[in-house]
Amino acid sequence: MKPTKYILFFFCLLFFLGCKTDKNQNGHIGKSNEVTLIDYAKGFSIEKFGENLTVIKITSPWPDAEVAFKYALVHKDKMASMTLNKDEYDAIVAVPVSRLVVTSTTHIPALEALGELNKLVGFPDTDYISSKSVRNRIDNGLIKELGNNESINTEMTIELNPDVVVGFGIDNRNRAYETLQRSNIPVVYNGDWTEKTPLGKAEWIKFFAPFFQKEAAADSIFNKTKKAYEQAKELAANAQKRPTVLSGALYKDVWYLPGGDSWAAQFISDANAQYLWADTQETGSLSLGLESVLTKGQNADFWISPSQFTKYGEMKKANEHYLHFTAFKNRNVYTFSKTKGETGGLLYYELAPQRPDLVLKDLIYIFHPELLPEHRLFFFKPLD
């Protein structure tokens, strides 16, 4: 081969290599990586590799989890041509999905906000769902009842043939999910409930977005919620007084109330009130005795979330020690248990994680009514 031909061959080879789609060692196809900005949530991350592959990592599927999960979302038109190492991922999902099953009511508002409720085909324990739009689809047979989350009906789920099941778990031992995976139905864990902050929970709408390729819509929805929450928090900072707050109630002989680093405690702090157990380190619940709570919380100005009670008479009948609390005497007890869906599901458990701004405004109105005189309570209502 003559020198000029060597040179020509060399440049042609460089051109050919330069024009090839880049494929890194992990099988991620795409010329550039893009990391989705996650501001508050701690339990997941999203990274895009070109237009056809999104990788979601779940680092907090349940509290104190020692395992993490990695999912590949591949555009359905590229599933046949894209080569991925299946051992590297816990599930590979073709997107955008057209049929899915979710397993927690906290998943419902994200689907509704993204305009994707029509893709939901099954749910365990449908009676817990409060959304009117979803209840209408359930009544019309468009969303099937699948038993309960701990032992989801696998035969019915397989028959529905969903593109993905969004799971909810307290540990890594769910035989039903294992059965679904063996039947080639991808199962992905959502850990929104493990987040410690109100905006952290709300940001999990970004987890759902790639399954429908609606990342821009999710960003816009979250940014509006974030703005509304931060504006309410700034307003609360103008209050002249910080009332003291008690929470929870007795179950048998144990009083359960939020820990100082919990989601619920953060709402009280952001509403510029003094939660009496704010100095505790727990991110979940505290388990205390009546005497301990009475000593510390007897003179609290307000009592928030007294378990499932909705009436003062119910509380008095359950335990006359409740009458010793100043908040009870002054009728300053508020509950979210009165705000229910048509089948008895509590709207707070479903929608509050997605709309923390509404929770915060409720509490600001309760603690500092002069700051939001036109607000109408959404979740929290006074006891009857």
Over the stretch 184-243, which tens digit does the pLDDT of each residue have? 999 999 999 999 999 999 999 999 999 999 999 999 999 999 999 999 999 999 999 999
Superfamily of domain 237-382: Nitrogenase molybdenum iron protein domain (3.40.50.1980)
Read off the pLDDT band of 29 (50, 70, 90). low
- pLDDT score recorded for residue 83: 86
- pLDDT score recorded for residue 171: 83
Mean pLDDT over 264-285 rounds to 96
**According to CATH, where is 3.40.50.1980 located in the chain?**
33-225, 237-382
Asked if the 33-225 domain carries CATH number 3.90.1150.10, the reply is no
- pLDDT score recorded for residue 136: 97
For residues 142 and 121, is the Cβ–Cβ distance under 8 A? yes
- CA gyration radius, the chain: 25
- pLDDT score recorded for residue 300: 98
- pLDDT score recorded for residue 12: 36
Count of CB atoms within 10 A of residue 148's CB?
13
For residues 229 and 199, is the Cβ–Cβ distance under 8 A? yes
Apex CA 347: angle with CA 110 and CA 266, to 5°?
Answer: 80
The 3-state secondary structure of the chain, one letter per residue: CCHHHHHHHHHHHHHHHHHCCCECCCCCECCCEEECCCCCCCCEEEEEECCCEEEEEECCCCCCCCCCEEEEEEEHHHCCCCCCCHHHCCEEEEECCCCEEECCHHHHHHHHHCCCHHHEEEECCHHHCCCHHHHHHHHCCCCEECCCHHHCCHHHHHHHCCCEEEECCCCCCCHHHHHHHHCCCCEEECCHHHCCCHHHHHCCHHHHHHHHCCHHHHHHHHHHHHHHHHHHHHHHCCCCCCCEEEECEEECCEEEEECCCCHHHHHHHHCCCEECCCCCCCCCEEEECHHHHHHHHCCCCEEECCCCCCCHHHHHHHCHHHHHCHHHHCCCEEECCCCECCCCCEHHHHHCCCCHHHHHHHHHHHHCCCCCCCCCCCCCEECC
Read off the pLDDT band of 375 (50, 70, 90). very high
- pLDDT above 50: residue 342: yes
> What distance in Å separates the CA atoms of residue 93 and residue 108, rounded to the nearest whole number?
20
- Percent of all residues in the chain with a pLDDT value above 70, rounded to a whole number: 92
Mean pLDDT over 35-55 rounds to 94
> What distance in Å separates the CA atoms of residue 332 and residue 255, rounded to the nearest whole number?
19
Cα of first residue to Cα of last residue in the chain, in angstroms, is 96
Residue range 164-181, pLDDT digits in tens: 999 988 887 889 999 999
Mean pLDDT over 137-144 rounds to 97
- pLDDT above 80: residue 120: yes
Q: Amino acid identity, residue 358? A: L
C-alpha distances (whole Å) from 91 to each of 61, 231, 279 are 14, 39, 41
